[in-house]
Structure 1
Amino acid sequence: MIWCYMQKSPAVGGAHYDWRTPTTPFKPLLPAPAFSSTMFNTTLSPITNLYVNFTTLSSSGGTPPWYLFPVCVVAPYGFIFYFGVKVFNLAVGTPCNVLVIWQIATKKSDASTSDIFIFNLAILDTYFCLMTPIEMVNRLLLSDSRIWYFQRFAYGIKDVAPLFLVCICLDRYMAVVHPVVFTGIRDNKIRIGISVVVWGSILAYSLTKSILGVMSVNEIFSGVILFAFAVMVFCNISVIWVLRRSVAGKEEMHPVKKKAFKMVLIILAIIVVNYLPPVALMPFASYYSFVAFRCQISVSVFSIMDLSCSIEPLLYITKMERVDGRCCGRSVSKKPDDGKV
């Protein structure tokens, strides 16, 4: 999914390949090889790079199999996991993200400076979750190339959504590690301006991916994931180190620092669960067989990253200091912490 997709390997492939969003939906590069009359095309270059593209059934023009490649029939479990994640995101991620949006929008006090970034991230995740029915119908039944433009746009949104996580981490980092500087930049207008810039970058990336295809943005995507992962890990470890050192020998952490500590742990959990797998697994892409990589590993890695649409709001909800109103027929209320971060 990331930079290593560009590694040259006769077993795996030499190009970045987002199996979720084909670069030219269902248009064959060459006639299908003898072992497959369905939707699997390969072209071997002199340097043995393997390029994969989707095609329709060469004879009947039917839809692709739900496990994507005919060779994946022996290992369809990655795709089962993928579709399971899609359904989970729709059923759980959508209402949770809506709850986060509503809670932040109606919060009148005890607001965190990071709430603006969390609010924007929840909007992106809600949109991605709501695209699930359209994607599943098109992927499994229609195979309409026009709908793929919208699907690629949605995945472009998801690809660079971690930029808002980076903003959250940097905000927490400045608040805890450099509190004096942070005091001078607490104005939310600054964060609104940053959000506008991030939104512009996300929309530009997504439109490019939608119109020009996956290959047009693969280097940008690789850079964003590496940058986001490195910055988030650095910021969160730095914050945890400072907070733990500040309470050494004390019985209780100050409410303000405790709130910041909770936020940092949430972000760190998201990083480990959703973004560590691709960073850890993909450098070894050249060692995998085609079936293992295309049918199991890459599918699972994409699914784990997509799962962040549900994990992010769920973790945020668990740290909510107060949720006024009713959720699932029950009112939820907790005593808020003192102070703001």
Structure 2
Amino acid sequence: MSLLHFPNSSLDSGHSRCNNTDGSRIGLALISTRVFLLFPVSLLILCHGAQRRRRRSFTAMSHFDVFTFHHCVLELVWILGTVLQFLGSSMDLEVMSMAGTYLSTCIFPGEPLFHVLTCLDRYLAVVHPVLYVSLRSSRGVSVRNVAVFGVWLLCFLFSCAANNLRSVIYIRLFSGFLTCSVLIMLFCGVSVLCALIGPGPGKKAGNKKLVDQSILRAFVTVAAITGVLCLWFFAFLVSSSLTSSALVAQSVSCVLEVSVLWFSLPCSLILPLLYLLKTGTLQCGHGGEGQEMDTEIN
């Protein structure tokens, strides 16, 4: 049986057939690891969110929580797409395989976009607290829902591009997309860091410690998300440069094409891990449901 090919590889617009032995082993190890780590974590977070929804209005949840829930749904969509792709390839069902291909490719633009929204949320909470408080109203929820809908729409558009455009065109498109995402996150991180170093006028002296802790949590969140995306971004650039080089053999190019996808794994895990730390599900020193990372910064 030939290896499940990787149409979700951002390096080949969805038309690569990575069939050599090394590439097959690396690819199967990657799929197994992602499913083993992300499936239970995503289900745990979604079940936790469902329990919270029964206790209070879903719209009252923080924007960070909602972005994380959609991120987990995206991971489950990838798992479903991978399963359909595998079954379609094994049973020679082209329609099923193609459906799996389109579903699995949604994850590459979706993850960075939810990361960007999370960083922008932390940026507004720290740098523009008055605007941030207003965005927690019903008007802000509407804006958030439109942003989430836009992410899913872009996921669909990028999926179509990945499976229909030429390799070179898609690589350039995806490279530009990642570049913009990284730049936005860096801007948010630097802005939050500046606020942490010098809170600026208008801060109440009695609340300075609480404010500093809130800003520090926001900075840690932005820095962690930016770090994992930068890792994925530079790995993608190096791999795409090497695989497009005539000096690299096709078998080596295949291995690189699959291996670079390992660097996207931290991007998949970072939001769920931050959520579990925030809610106290993962105990790290002290935490809990009462210590929300999105404490309003006034």
Give distance in 1, aligned partners of 2:268 and 2:129.
Answer: 31
- Pick from 278, 288, 291: which aligns with 1:337? 291
The answer to whether the 8 A contact 1:163-1:228 is kept is yes
Give distance in 2, aligned partners of 1:148 and 1:134.
Answer: 6
**Superposition map of 1:208-287 within 5 A:** 209=162, 212=164, 215=167, 218=170, 219-246=172-199, 254-284=212-242, 285-286=244-245
Whether 1:116 and 2:61 are equivalent positions in the alignment is no
Give distance in 2, aligned partners of 1:283 and 1:234.
Answer: 26
The answer to whether the 8 A contact 1:233-1:271 is kept is no
| TM norm structure 1 | 0.64
Residues 134 and 152 of structure 1: is their aligned pair in 2 closer, same or farther, counting only changes over 3 Å?
closer
Match of 1:289 in 2: 248
Residues 280 and 170 of structure 1: is their aligned pair in 2 closer, same or farther, counting only changes over 3 Å?
farther
Match of 1:179 in 2: 129
- Pick from 318, 321, 330: which aligns with 2:279? 321
Match of 1:149 in 2: 98
Residues 241 and 283 of structure 1: is their aligned pair in 2 closer, same or farther, counting only changes over 3 Å?
farther
Percentage identity across paired residues of the two chains = 21
Give distance in 1, aligned partners of 2:147 and 2:101.
Answer: 25
- Pick from 76, 87, 90: which aligns with 2:35? 90
The answer to whether the 8 A contact 2:82-2:104 is kept is no
Q: From the two aligned structures, give the one with the greater helix fraction.
A: 2
Whether 1:101 and 2:46 are equivalent positions in the alignment is yes
**Which amino acid in 1 is paired with 2:189?**
N
The answer to whether the 8 A contact 1:81-1:300 is kept is yes
Once the two structures are superposed, residues 202-229 of structure 1 have per-residue CA deviations (whole angstroms, 9 ceiling, x without a partner) of 223334545x466597154333222222
The answer to whether the 8 A contact 2:106-2:156 is kept is yes
Give distance in 1, aligned partners of 2:173 and 2:117.
Answer: 18
Give distance in 1, aligned partners of 2:133 and 2:274.
Answer: 27
Give distance in 2, aligned partners of 1:283 and 1:215.
Answer: 13
Tell me, which stretches of 5 or more residues in structure 2 are unaligned?
1-9, 201-207
After the TM superposition, which of the residue ranges 276-285 and 193-202 deviates more from structure 2?
Answer: 276-285
Secondary structure of the equivalent of 1:205? helix
The answer to whether the 8 A contact 2:102-2:160 is kept is yes
**Which amino acid in 2 is paired with 1:290?**
A
Give distance in 1, aligned partners of 2:168 and 2:256.
Answer: 23
Tell me, which stretches of 5 or more residues in structure 1 are unaligned?
1-15, 23-52, 55-67
- Pick from 110, 116, 119: which aligns with 1:169? 119
Residues 268 and 105 of structure 1: is their aligned pair in 2 closer, same or farther, counting only changes over 3 Å?
farther
Residues 178 and 280 of structure 1: is their aligned pair in 2 closer, same or farther, counting only changes over 3 Å?
farther
Bigger Cα Rg:
1
Give distance in 2, aligned partners of 1:133 and 1:320.
Answer: 31
Match of 1:298 in 2: 257
Residues 216 and 229 of structure 1: is their aligned pair in 2 closer, same or farther, counting only changes over 3 Å?
same
Q: From the two aligned structures, give the one with the greater strand fraction.
A: 1
**Which amino acid in 2 is paired with 1:337?**
Q
The answer to whether the 8 A contact 1:112-1:340 is kept is no
The answer to whether the 8 A contact 1:117-1:168 is kept is yes
| TM norm structure 2 | 0.72
CA-CA distance at 1:100 after TM superposition: 2.0
User: What is the total number of aligned residue pairs between the two structures?
Assistant: 265
CA-CA distance at 1:123 after TM superposition: 0.9
**Which amino acid in 2 is paired with 1:340?**
T
**Which amino acid in 1 is paired with 2:30?**
V
Once the two structures are superposed, residues 88-109 of structure 1 have per-residue CA deviations (whole angstroms, 9 ceiling, x without a partner) of 1212201111222233343357
CA-CA distance at 1:309 after TM superposition: 3.0
**Which amino acid in 2 is paired with 1:334?**
G
**Which amino acid in 1 is paired with 2:295?**
K
Match of 1:189 in 2: 142
Q: How well do the aligned residues superpose, as a CA RMSD in angstroms? A: 3.5
